[in-house]
Structure 1
């Protein structure tokens, strides 16, 4: 770490004044402790500086890592010595992630960023009422420097502004590329007006827009110039069909569209066939949607094939398993990939989530089916199955088999099968499912009772003769697991199948099943 060439900065800098206790020995160079620190290798000092100075990578996702009314913790390195202070002030990129904690530090960060593109995080729950207007006024005075902006409102009416700030908020944001607006409630209180003319609707370089709360949907619809928008996410808002139609009409060139919200019917709206097509869509996600809306409103607007598709439909008793099967086949038709050339192996994971539970609003049974297809970073061929039961219907097996048979090319190349279940696995014909995966090399199971699955991979009929590894987490304590594994090993020996390397653990799962199974297949769970 070399000393900067420019003169040392004075300690009376523009940084906020805070009480600092300075203890200095009379002869610092004769102090043994100082000598030890002074003699540390330069590489080690650089590593310590880097560890303390680099902003945490999750600072945007979790802005609460900063304490209110104090500087971000990494700025404490400026109190170590004059050299470290000069280095910190000279590294302008350290100051490009701005968390609105208090007006003093907001101006300090904006000053030392020196014109570099900045990321701004605004969390209203951390700001005093008197500081909100002043902080936002400073923000919109430098809006031309912001590339990423995330605003989390504690309540949607917190965004009420005075006339001066309202005028500043209408300034265009020519360099803004990612915008996130979140509200604590789904909709504002009656009589509360939000600044729907935010940035005057002029965001020429905006590529990603994430809106959480139906109060912000009008901002999207009233924006006048978003020519480069390619990724849109809407959470927690009850979208009506006319609003969905208006969004698709406004942005027909979207590449990524996520609608994590309930799409509601509007009385008298029956035109389900006029949605604008989206030929460039590479990722589509929709949750909490009625199957009728999927069939008549959403599906006609999708391209013939989509590299990444996620559909979550809510089924009630009036739909039954027949409706679920129909959804699976229609979703698979859009997500299915063409046959792979001979000798090629697709890097494609397939996840199926089947959920049957009682609604909190009524006693009506709700069945949700999620189909996810999409590319992965590593060249792994994975089939993920999550079962969040209780699935006691005999048609549940037909439901899973129908999906598996609808995507033969994906399953034919699957090398890893991961099953995460909170219920018993006795309702499924695992032998029939395994027959669809001739290249399967490894299985990983998390279940309270994997008895039936263990017997299915016994391999006496040669179905899983090529299987090499099996990882098992039993989420209930019992004495049957070892016996089941021993019977499976004996059955494979009798059939001449490949010996399986087993890893078995009994525990009560307290974390997400999928996260645990990922750790297990990576070899970190024994």
Structure 2
């Protein structure tokens, strides 16, 4: 034993002598025996660590949180436009399996916890892998995401369909030509636990139309509550349009038309709907059916949200036949219309009025109090008209803000071929007499300001507060202040919106960056405010915040024309990025705000509070605002 490099006990030396001439299989057996002892000793050592004092139930909860975090990270990666990130996200969907490879104890706890294996993503993995996961879930309800791309093995997805008796939620993304591979397999006849079903086509071309999979056409779905379908032409006779549905979301921009009676029959069956969102598509109405449309209705007494996005005015036939609660929040979006002769929005107007009048709605109606006009930030050629029945503060009208209440009525119209004149005419048909708060963005005016403001303000007979915003030049403000209907017997101008007492200027550009000393527009606005004051229709409170190329001297010019000016004190000057003869032009932010009254008193720093802007003296303003652009 002199050749050994380390000392051995006498017992070990005897063992080595005994095994010196042993057969290889005996040596392997001895190694395995000793290795198992080492594993046992390591496990015993690990069991003394503090983490091992946690009960298995607590570990499972920790593992589930870890799994949720990993899946959320994978989902976020999949949303990026980079193909590399998308592939990496697919691989990381099972990153949570790392917890089963940390130690023997963690692996045992994870494998024995069926809730760890009830939600997973299926692509083209080995069928044995999917079978193992299904076994570990031990018959518990399943929540599954499955995708089948072109040329991939369909068997993993087929194995999931065989478990439909315990699937609770299913998201199925299919390459259109792979549908037949699933239909040739065992089609489920019943999914007693299925509550949410999502069908998504991998075909991303907006012009493509793919018939929806027929997998569930004859399946019994007694618990289905939610159906989401993207990229497929609906087959309204399918069982997936179940009477138990409370949420239905459909999106397919391909050019197709559904038979109107078939669609209406399907909606009649889904009387439990609370949320209906349809994007794309049209309906076909024969001459014989047109006479029957007026007498047909689909009553949806529980509907809370209705959203239709379409490029076909024929969809108004469908909406006209829906009887919904008066409290239902409704949104209509008209994309570039398929027009032949007329771009009139009269069909949309008639549909809305039938709802507001109670002809096709149930319950008491409350007039609109707040109105916002804006352009869609994502689609600048789209005009948005938003209406609320409540009187909202200006700080709570940003449609992109999660804290902003959902409008009671929202109408989005894409310009061209529809014109601003069409939208102007459309507004004239709506009941706007009770509107007290108006929010308009002025970044782009599509018509002559004088014409647009007179057309709009004549409709708003109860107007109290106006907010103008969005980086527009203040010349639009001047146009709004100076429009009038005629002269009084005493020869004074009778201005529109005589009850306008609060004017909020938010992000208004008082002068252009390359003309920092040009006070023409400022003086015009001051004169307009003074003219309204002299006529008895003056603005009592002027709120100025976040305005551009404007400072304390400008506030002093405006102050004599109103009872009170509330200024946030922020001087913001655009920086001229090209060579300029105005070296003094600068960009500064941030010295204390102030509230300046008509007597010139500075009330100290101002602070924005709920319902207004409050000065150091305790005076407060009602600050009602919104986001919008003047399309007139």
TM-score if structure 1 supplies the norm length? 0.63
Structure 1 residue 223, shift from structure 2 partner: 1.9
What is the rounded CA distance, in whole Å, between the counterparts of 2:445 and 2:220 in structure 1? 51
Matched, 1:451 2:492: no
Q: Is the 8 A contact 2:329 2:407 kept in 1?
A: no
Greater CA deviation, 420-429 or 296-305? 420-429
CA distance in 1, matches of 2:115, 2:65: 15
1:293–1:150 CA distance, 2 compared to 1 (3 A): closer
Using the alignment, how far apart are the partners of 1:505 and 1:469 within structure 2?
16
Deviates most, 330-339 or 110-119: 330-339
- Counterpart position of 2:100: 78
Contact map agreement 1:257 1:284 (CA 8 A) in 2: yes
Q: Does 1:260 align with 2:260?
A: no
For residue 148 of structure 1, the aligned residue among 164, 169, 172 is 169
Structure 2 match to 1:53: 67
SS at match of 1:200: coil
CA contact (8 A) 2:383 2:412 kept: no
* Cα deviation code 1:495-517 (max 9, x no counterpart): 1234143776979xxxxxxxxxx
Question: Is the aligned partner of 1:136 residue 2:157?
Answer: yes
- Other-structure match for 1:106: 130
1:483-522 map, 5 Å: 483=549, 487=554, 490-492=557-559, 494-501=561-568
* SS of residue matched to 2:185: helix
Offset at residue 263 of structure 1 (A)? 0.5
Cα 1:445–1:138 change in 2 (3 A) is farther
Q: Is the 8 A contact 2:243 2:272 kept in 1?
A: no
Which deviates further from its counterpart, 115-124 or 173-182? Answer: 115-124
Residue 232 (str. 1) matches residue 248 (str. 2): yes
Report the Cα offset of residue 252 of structure 1: 4.3
Task: Work out whether residues 382 and 413 of structure 2, in 8 Å CA contact, stay in contact via their aligned partners in 1.
Answer: no
List alignment gaps of at least 5 residues for structure 2.
1-41, 80-85, 358-362, 391-398, 483-494, 517-546, 576-624, 627-632
Distance 1:257 1:482, change over 3 A: closer
The 1:49–1:184 alpha-carbon spacing in structure 2 relative to 1, beyond 3 Å, is closer
Distance in 2 (alpha carbons) for counterparts of 1:492 and 1:97: 64
Secondary structure, aligned partner of 1:229: coil
Counting only pairs closer than 5 Å after superposition, residues 17-96 of structure 1 correspond to structure 2 as 52-55=66-69, 56-57=71-72, 64=86, 67-68=89-90, 72-82=94-104, 84-86=106-108, 88-89=110-111, 92-96=114-118
Partners of 1:241 and 1:160 in 2: how far apart?
Answer: 25
Pick aligned residue for 1:290 from 299, 306, 312: 312
* Cα gap change, 1:90 to 1:170, in 2 (>3 Å): closer
SS of the counterpart of 1:290? coil
Measure how far apart 1:134 and its partner are.
1.2
Alignment of 1:68-467 (within 5 A): 68=90, 72-82=94-104, 84-86=106-108, 88-89=110-111, 92-101=114-123, 102-103=125-126, 104-125=128-149, 129-131=151-153, 133-154=154-175, 156-161=176-181, 166-167=185-186, 169-185=187-203, 186-188=208-210, 196=214, 198=216, 200-215=218-233, 217-218=234-235, 220-223=236-239, 226-236=242-252, 238-242=256-260, 243-265=262-284, 270-271=289-290, 272-280=293-301, 281-291=303-313, 293-294=315-316, 296-303=317-324, 305=326, 307-313=328-334, 314=337, 316=339, 318-320=341-343, 323-324=344-345, 327-328=348-349, 330-335=351-356, 338=364, 380=405, 395=421, 398-399=424-425, 401-402=427-428, 406-408=431-433, 411-412=435-436, 417=439, 419=441, 427=449, 428-429=452-453, 432=457, 440=465, 443=467, 445-446=469-470, 449-452=472-475, 454-455=477-478, 465-466=501-502
**Alpha-carbon distance change, 241 to 195 in structure 1, aligned in 2, over 3 angstroms:** closer
Question: How many Å separate the matches in 2 of 1:437 and 1:490?
Answer: 29
Provide closer, same or farther for how the CA distance between residues 306 and 57 of structure 1 changes in structure 2, counting only shifts above 3 A: farther
CA displacement 1:401-455 (0-9 Å, x = unmatched): 537x52455x43x5x94749666796442983996675659x58435x3434555
Higher RCO (CA 8 Å, separation ≥ 6 residues): 2
Residue of 484, 489, 506 corresponding to 1:470: 506
Q: Secondary structure at the match of 2:266?
A: helix
Structure 1 residues 446, 124: CA separation in 2 closer, same or farther (over 3 Å shift)? farther
Change (3 A) 1:235 1:194: closer
Normalising to structure 2: TM-score of the pair? 0.54
Secondary structure of the residue aligned to 2:193 is coil
Distance (Å, rounded) in 2 between the aligned partners of 1:77 and 1:146: 25
Q: Is the 8 A contact 2:274 2:304 kept in 1?
A: yes
How big is the shift at 1:354?
Answer: 6.8
1:234 Cα offset (Å): 2.1
Residues 246-281 of structure 1, C-alpha deviations (whole Å, 9 max, x = no match): 423443443332221121435655333354322413
